[in-house]
Amino acid sequence: ESQLNPNYSFDNFLEGDSNRLARSAGLAVANKPGGTSFNPLLVFGGVGLGKTHLAHAIGVEIKDKYPEKTVLYISAEKFTQQYIESVKKNTRNDFIHFYQLIDVLIIDDVQFFSGKSGTQDVFFHIFNHLHQNGKQVILTSDKAPVDMQDIEQRLLSRFKWGLSAELQSPDFETRISILKNRLYRDGVEMPEEIIECVARNIKSNVRELEGAIISLIAQSSFNKKEVTIELANQIVEKFVKNTKREVSIDYIQKVISDYFQMDVETLQSKTRKRHIVQARQLAMFFAKKYTKASLASIGSQIGKRDHATVLHACKTVDNLAETDKQFRKYIEDLSKKFAQ
Ligand code: ADP
Ligand code: MG
């Protein structure tokens, strides 16, 4: 059981400036596993940029060229679970032994090892054994080794032995070819201007790019809708909105000031006028609810108040929500604007 996904191949991992180094290094490793200086090969980059795809593609290609080699793909999370299981069952040595016999080990998302010292320790031993025996290790991570946190120094230094190659956000041309490739594989035709509309608007994540084109394909083939620029814009907007629109404290203050027909400076001012105080308290309440900011940071951004003021505001809003019908209506209206 290699756990490899044959749909993730080099053929459909389209090349562009954003991935050329990683893709070429991957191919080099696939041609000569354990026989290049790219050992380990560490591929890093943000969400949805193709780390998992490329990791599988390398494994699939090796299996194709060297059927006798044992290739194993596993996520760092699953590896960790297996390890914990083995400790419980007193089979830690079997676990290590199993991994030491593999020719090509591919571990996806090694940032998951952060802070897990037991797992890092076994992986260290497995890695050393494989490396000494000329076996290939391929890793992916959402960060470069220098930026990894809570990973032991001795492991980090091993990660740096080989090559770290970054997957960056694809440029416009690459986004176009990825979209066209997807359409081609699905046997669907789409006007050039639609493809460009999607490629122009979705920039930083290939998974979203694919999601948008899949929605469009579905609309045209199942709903028999004509794919117009308007429809493309709607779908693109949904994808961009769903992922990008993070509620910020600025945004909260803006929405609440608009709602109460005042400006942001008024909302932040030192006045004790009741309706302004309430607007400000609502801003603090929603900032606590919809952002990850600390009370102190919320306070300082909403008119330079301290954390005790924010805490008091949140309690006041909770109380008023129970006792004051009009106030409850404010909260309901505003919640709709933030919760989307
Ligand atoms: P990650 O593991 O970095 O989050 P994935 O490997 O899951 O990203 O990729 C997300 C989606 O984008 C997958 O469906 C993958 O096939 C596709 N993809 C990413 N990069 C490319 C590329 N260069 N060419 C074609 N498809 C790609
Ligand atoms: Mg992945």
Q: What is the ipTM of this complex?
A: 0.99
Say which CATH architecture domain 249-339 belongs to: Orthogonal Bundle (1.10)
Around Cβ 78, how many Cβ atoms within 10 Å?
Answer: 15
Ligand 1 and 316: CB distance under 6 A:
no
pLDDT of residue 242: 60
- Contact 186/178 with Cβ under 8 angstroms? no
> What are the residue ranges of CATH 1.10.8.60 in the chain?
172-244
Ligand 1 and 160: CB distance under 6 A:
no
* pLDDT, tens digit, 9 for 90 and up, residues 243-296: 545 678 998 999 999 999 999 999 999 999 999 999 999 999 999 988 888 899
Q: How far apart are CA 116 and CA 95, in angstroms?
A: 17
Q: How far apart are CA 210 and CA 179, in angstroms?
A: 7
Ligand 1 and 283: CB distance under 6 A:
no
Ligand 1 atom with the smallest distance to the CA of 206 is 12
Ligand 1 and 19: CB distance under 6 A:
yes
> What are the residue ranges of CATH 3.40.50.300 in the chain?
20-167
Total number of residues shown for the chain: 340
Which ligand gives the minimal distance to the CA of 142?
1
Ion ligand 2 — residues with CB < 5 Å: 51-52
CATH number for the segment(s) 20-167? 3.40.50.300
Q: Does domain 172-244 have CATH number 3.40.350.10?
A: no
> What are the residue ranges of CATH 1.10.1750.10 in the chain?
249-339
Around Cβ 292, how many Cβ atoms within 10 Å?
Answer: 7
pLDDT of residue 246: 62
Is the per-residue pLDDT at 219 higher than 70?
yes
Ligand 1 atom with the smallest distance to the CA of 170 is 23
- 306 alpha carbon to ligand 1 midpoint, in Å? 45
